[in-house]
A and B are shown apart, each in its own frame.
Chain A
Amino acid sequence: MIESQTDLDRMFHALSDRSRRGMIDRLGRGPASVTELAAPLAVALPTVLKHLQVLEESGLVLSEKAGRVRTYRLQKDALAAVERWVEQRKTYWTATFDRLDHFLANETESLPE
């Protein structure tokens, strides 16, 4: 998935900033415009655009322009998407079965056999 050390350097550089990680977290919920990405951040629009440029150069994010609106999305969704979905679903069930384990343990305490 990661082509070279240079790509890796770019990706880690892109992720080394809290605002950019916030943008990735937001894009994890679906595509967003510059305005939507800027909204939770207390920074000027040129700064937001600079962050988005760094993210796009890293290959983590890509953008498309439709009319006047440029929409950003996670590039990683396109790569190995099914593997990520399976991991998400597994994480969900693992957490659920942890609660089952916990439920059974508590039930034992409250119902002496």
Chain B
Amino acid sequence: MTTPSAEHATLVIERHLKAPLARVFGAWSTPESKRQWFACHGDWVPLEYGLDFRPGGVEKNYVADTDGLLHAYDARYIDIVPDARIIYAYEMKLGQTRISASLATVSFEAALGGTRMVFTEQVVFLDGYADNGARLQGTEIGLGNLELFLEREESPIH
């Protein structure tokens, strides 16, 4: 059995987007827009999406992966400054298991030719995280790349 654990980490992702600030913010704040880029997920099956974009409002995104496992994202918005900042708390569950709890801050500013967006997530990974029956993309991509590398290595020998 997995022993209870809580591992803290902070990750920061900075992106330069070619759209003006108001449209980038609109993509985060308008439910129909956000659903299109946030909830639609390759060959995963979207089950439920909802966004109530205001402080105290909630967002949910439930999808089933290719094995039919439920990935449930539930968020609550804390602080919103239009065209400048969004702060929200969210949890991730795999099936019935809560795997992480996070505080996310997204900041936006106009930049030459578009918008600079900085996403900062302070996350607590819970009770073994990926060990709990998770199939997370990172693992798959990592192994997929390794497999490609190994197949390339093999081919000149044989």
A-side interface residues toward B, CB under 8 Å? 12, 15-16, 21, 24-25, 28-31, 73-74, 77, 81-82, 84-97, 99-105, 107-108
* Given A16-B150, A91-B137, 4 additional A-B pairs, CB 8 A: A30-B131, A85-B130, A89-B123, A91-B141
Q: Is the CB of B18 within 8 A of A105?
A: yes
Chain A neighbourhood of B17, CB < 8 A: 100-101, 104
From A28, A73, A87, A103, give the contact of B143 (CB < 8 A). A28
Q: Is B47 an interface residue (CB 8 A)?
A: no
A97's partner among B33, B40, B119, B140 (CB-CB below 8 A) is B119
| Docked-complex contact A15 and B37, CB < 8 angstroms | no
Q: Is the Cβ of A104 less than 8 Å from the Cβ of B27? A: yes
Bound: A99/B125 CA distance, A: 25
Contacts of B67 in A (CB 8 A): 29
Total cross-chain contacts (CB, 8 A): 112
**CB of B154 closer than 8 Å to a CB of A:** yes
Task: Give the residues in chain B near A73, CB-CB below 8 Å.
Answer: 131
* Residue from the list B7, B37, B139 in contact with A82, Cβ < 8 A: B7
Q: Would you list 14 pairs from A and B whose C-beta atoms are within 8 A, ordered by A residue?
A: A24-B143, A25-B140, A29-B67, A85-B129, A85-B130, A86-B11, A92-B136, A93-B119, A97-B13, A99-B38, A99-B40, A100-B15, A100-B24, A105-B18
A46 to B150, CA, bound (A): 25
* Pick from A24, A29, A97, A108: contact of B15, CB under 8 Å: A97
Rounded to whole angstroms, the CA-CA distance of A28 and B133 in the bound complex is 8
Which residues of A are found within 8 Å of B36, using beta-carbon distances? 103
Q: Is the CB of A84 within 8 A of B37?
A: no
Query: Which A residues are CB-close (under 8 A) to B4?
Result: none
Question: Is the CB–CB distance between B136 and A103 below 8 Å?
Answer: no
The answer to the question of B111 belonging to the interface, with a C-beta cut-off of 8 Å to chain A, is no
Residues from chain A with Cβ under 8 Å of B79 in the complex:
none
Q: A21-B147, A104-B19 are in contact. Are A28 and B132 (CB under 8 A)?
A: no
Nearest-Cβ distance from residue B134 to partner chain A, whole angstroms: 7
B135 and A29 within 8 A (CB): yes
**Contact indicator A77/B146 (Cβ below 8 Å):** no
Once the chains bind, are A90 and B11 in contact (CB under 8 Å)?
A: yes
Instruction: Please tell me if the beta carbons of B37 and A85 are within 8 angstroms of each other in the complex.
Output: no
From B143, which residue of chain A is reached at the shortest CB distance?
Answer: A25
CB distance from A16 to the nearest CB of B (A): 6
